[in-house]
Structure 1
Amino acid sequence: MTAALTTPAGPTAARTAGAPRQWRWLARLHRPALIGGGALVLLTAAVLVWLGGPLTDASAAAWKVYNACGFTPRCSYDQSAILLYKDVYNYATFAVLTVPFLVAAWAGGALVGRETESGTARLAWTQGVSPAHWLASRLVLPAVLTVAATGLLAALHHWAWATGRDHIDTTKFWYDMATFTANGTVPVGLALAGLAAGALAGLVLRRALAAMAAATVTVGVLWAAVHAAMPYLWPSVTRVSGLQEGPLGRGLLVGEGVLTPEGRAEAPCVNGGLGGCRGSLADMGATAFYRDLHPVSHYWPLQLVATGILLTVAGLMTYAAFRVLRRTTGTAHG
Structure 2
Amino acid sequence: MTTLATPAPTSTGRSSGAPSLVRWLLRLHRPALLVWAALVIVVGALLLWVGGPLADASAEAWKQYNACKSVFTCVHDTESIGRYKDWYAYTTYTVLAVPFLVAAWSGATLTSRELENGTAQLAWTQSISPARWLAAKLAVPAVLVTVGSGLLVGLHHWAWSTGQGRIDTAKDWYDIGTYAANGTVTVAMALAGLVSGAFWGLVKRNSLASLVGSLCTTGFLWSVIGLATPHLWPTVTKVSSLRHSVPSGSGISVSQGVLTSTGARIANPECGAITNEGCRAVYTKLDAVSFYNVYHPQSHYWPLQLTSTAIILAVTAALTVAAFQLLKRRTGSAPARKETSA
Give me the TM-score of the superposition, normalised by structure 1. 0.92
Q: Per-residue deviation at 1:224?
A: 1.0
Q: CA deviation at 1:222?
A: 1.2
Q: 8 Å contact 1:198–1:211 — kept in the other structure? A: yes
Match of 2:161? 162
Name the structure 2 match of 1:299.
Answer: 301
Distance 1:18 1:139 in 2: 17
- In the TM superposition, 1:51-62 aligns within 5 A as 51-62=50-61
Choose the corresponding residue for 1:322, options 321, 324, 332. 324
Distance in 1 of aligned mates of 2:108 and 2:12: 30
Alpha carbons of 1:73 and 1:322: their partners in 2 closer, same or farther (altered >3 Å)?
same
| 1:258 aligns to 2:258 (yes or no) | yes
Which structure 2 residues correspond to residues 10-49 of structure 1 after superposition, within 5 A? Answer: 14=15, 17-49=16-48
Structure 1 equivalent of residue 175 of structure 2: 176
Taking the aligned partners of 2:70 and 2:224, their CA distance within structure 1 comes to: 45
Residue identity in the other structure for 1:314: T
Cα deviation, residue 273, structure 1: 5.6
Read off the aligned partner of 2:50 and give its amino acid letter.
L
Q: Give the CA deviation at 1:262.
A: 5.4
* Contact preservation (8 Å) 1:268, 1:277: no
How far is 1:112 from its partner? 1.1
1:120 paired to 2:122 = no
Q: For 1:229 and 1:332, how far apart are their aligned partners in 2?
A: 42
Tell me if the contact between 1:251 and 1:296 (Cα under 8 Å) persists in the aligned partners.
yes
User: Alignment partner of 1:107: what SS?
Assistant: helix
Matched, 1:285 2:284: no
Residues 82-140 of structure 1 show CA distances to partners (whole Å, capped at 9, x for unaligned) of 11101110000011111100111111111111111111111111221100000000001
Deviations 1:34-87 (A, max 9, x none): 101100110000000111111111111111001101143321111111111011
Code of the aligned partner of 2:257: G
CA pair 242-98 structure 1, distance change in 2 beyond 3 A: same
Give 2:205's aligned residue: 206
Distance 1:12 1:94, change over 3 A: farther
SS of 1:172's equivalent in the other structure is coil
Comparing 149-158 with 67-76, greater Cα deviation is found at: 67-76
- 1:15-37: CA deviations, max 9, x gaps? xx443222111111111111011
- Alignment of structure 1 residues 37-186 onto 2, 5 Å: 37-186=36-185
Distance 1:287 1:13 in 2: 82
Whichever structure has more helix as a proportion of its residues is 1
Alpha-carbon distance, 1:178 to partner: 0.2
1:12: how far off? Answer: 12
- Residue number in structure 1 paired with 2:340: none
Compute the TM-score of the two structures, normalised by the length of structure 2: 0.90
Correspondence list, 1:181-200, <5 A? 181-200=180-199
Task: Work out the percentage of aligned pairs sharing the same amino acid.
Answer: 52
Pair 1:273–1:245, CA change in 2 (3 A):
closer
The structure with higher relative contact order (CA 8 Å, sep 6+) is: 2
Structure 1: distance between partners of 2:159 and 2:211: 32
Supply the distance in 2 between the matched residues of 1:292 and 1:13 (Cα, whole angstroms). Answer: 65
Contact 2:244–2:273, Cα closer than 8 Å, also in 1: no
3-state SS of paired residue (2:162): helix
- The corresponding residue for 2:230 is 231
Question: How many residue pairs get matched?
Answer: 322
Structure 1 residue 13 displacement after superposition: 6.7
Q: Which amino acid counterpart does residue 255 of structure 2 have in structure 1? A: G
Deviation at 1:216, TM superposition (A): 1.1
Q: Any stretches of 5+ residues in structure 2 without a counterpart?
A: 1-10, 337-342
Residue type of the alignment partner of 1:313: V
Distance 1:233 1:298 in 2: 10
Task: Assess, with a 3 A threshold, how the Cα gap between structure 1 residues 101 and 12 changes in structure 2: closer, same or farther.
Answer: farther
Unaligned stretches of 5+ residues in structure 1: 1-9
Q: Deviations over 1:127-166 (max 9, x none)?
A: 2110000000000111111110010000000001001111
SS of residue paired to 2:237 = strand
Tell me the equivalent position of 2:6. Answer: none
* 1: CA distance, partners of 2:334 / 2:314: 24
User: In structure 2, do the counterparts of structure 1 residues 12 and 299 end up closer, same or farther at CA, with 3 Å as the change threshold?
Assistant: farther
CA contact (8 A) 1:18 1:129 kept: no
Alignment check: 8 A CA contact 2:55 2:84 kept: yes
